């Protein structure tokens, strides 16, 4: 029998749950993006912020990005490490070029380990942003996907499988509209899909 006492307990529990959810949604989450032009084209962090808002998640973003940079380049400069040690960020999303080669895989794994060690010391979660090859090197796509999957698994990091989602779209539709005019950098639509995958990977699992 559903008594008045049961009803009161239910209402109190519901109110507490709603309060906790509201606090989570209203609190801001800081995300650091580390990468190159594949991240700053179309201002991907801003698109991620807008996409997260649709899910009731408020985020702030910061970019440390330079053209043609890979993870070792950022490591050598040291700026990223200093930002991580401020303990201001919940996630650090790292990105470099397609990384289908043996050398690219090595950088993803070894420098991922370096960043992950600092992240763990400062309560931050490492995230890989899986990208894509240029249209001219489309045949390397499986290597891009495999190497990112391997690096994320080895370093126990979150993986945002953007490249994998792109490839499924291309293979299904035979339409390459996620690429921009140069056949490598993302179109606005491609960046919007990337933002959607990133937000779902971080907040919707």
Which CATH number belongs to the domain containing residue 95 in this structure? Answer: 3.40.50.1110
Total residues belonging to the chain: 205
Task: Indicate the average pLDDT of the chain.
Answer: 90
Query: Does some domain include residue 23?
Result: no
pLDDT at residue 204 is higher than 70: yes
Q: How far apart are CA 205 and CA 201, in angstroms?
A: 7
Query: Does some domain include residue 83?
Result: yes
pLDDT at residue 106 is higher than 80: yes
pLDDT at residue 45 is higher than 50: yes
**CA–CA–CA angle 139, 172, 133 (5° rounding):** 30
Decide which of 1 and 105 is more confident: 105
The overall longest dimension of the chain from CA atoms, in Å, is 69
Number of domains in the chain: 1
**Which tens digit of pLDDT belongs to each residue from 154-197?**
999 999 999 999 999 999 999 999 999 999 999 999 999 999 99
Query: Does some domain include residue 9?
Result: no
Query: Does some domain include residue 6?
Result: no
Query: Does some domain include residue 186?
Result: yes
- Grouping H, G, I as helix, E, B as strand and the rest as coil, residue 167 is helix
pLDDT at residue 16 is higher than 90: no
Cβ burial of 113 (10 Å; 0-12, 13-18, 19+) is middle
Query: Does some domain include residue 22?
Result: no
Query: Does some domain include residue 8?
Result: no
pLDDT at residue 81 is higher than 90: yes
Give me the phi and psi of 190, to 5 degrees please.
-65, -40
Q: How far apart are CA 118 and CA 167, in angstroms?
A: 32
Query: Does some domain include residue 144?
Result: yes
Q: 62-83 as b/e, with b when 16 or more CB fall inside 10 Å?
A: ebbbeeebbbeebbeeeebeeb
So what's the pLDDT on residue 11? Answer: 36
| pLDDT-derived band at 26, boundaries 50, 70, 90 | low
Range of the domain at 194: 29-203
Q: How far apart are CA 200 and CA 37, in angstroms?
A: 22
Contact 60, 31 (CB under 8 A): yes
């Amino acid at each position: 029998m559903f008594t008045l006492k049961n009803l009161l307990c239910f209402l109190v529990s519901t109110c507490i749950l709603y309060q906790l959810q509201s606090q989570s949604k209203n609190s801001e989450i800081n995300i650091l993006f580390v990468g190159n032009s594949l991240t700053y084209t179309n201002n991907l962090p801003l698109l991620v912020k807008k996409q997260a808002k649709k899910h009731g998640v408020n985020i702030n973003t910061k970019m440390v990005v330079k053209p043609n940079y890979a993870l070792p380049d950022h490591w050598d400069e040291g700026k990223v490490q200093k930002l991580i040690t401020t303990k201001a960020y919940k996630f650090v999303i790292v990105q470099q070029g397609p990384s289908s080669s043996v050398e690219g895989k090595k950088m993803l794994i070894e420098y991922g380990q370096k960043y992950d060690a600092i992240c763990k010391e400062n309560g931050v979660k490492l995230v890989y942003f899986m990208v894509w090859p240029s249209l001219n090197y489309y045949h390397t796509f499986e290597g891009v996907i495999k190497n990112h999957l391997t690096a994320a698994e080895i370093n126990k990091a979150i993986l945002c499988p953007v490249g994998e989602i792109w490839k499924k779209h291309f293979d299904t539709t035979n339409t390459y509209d996620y690429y921009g005019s140069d056949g490598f950098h993302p179109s606005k639509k491609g960046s919007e899909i990337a933002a959607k995958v990133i937000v779902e990977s971080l907040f919707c699992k």
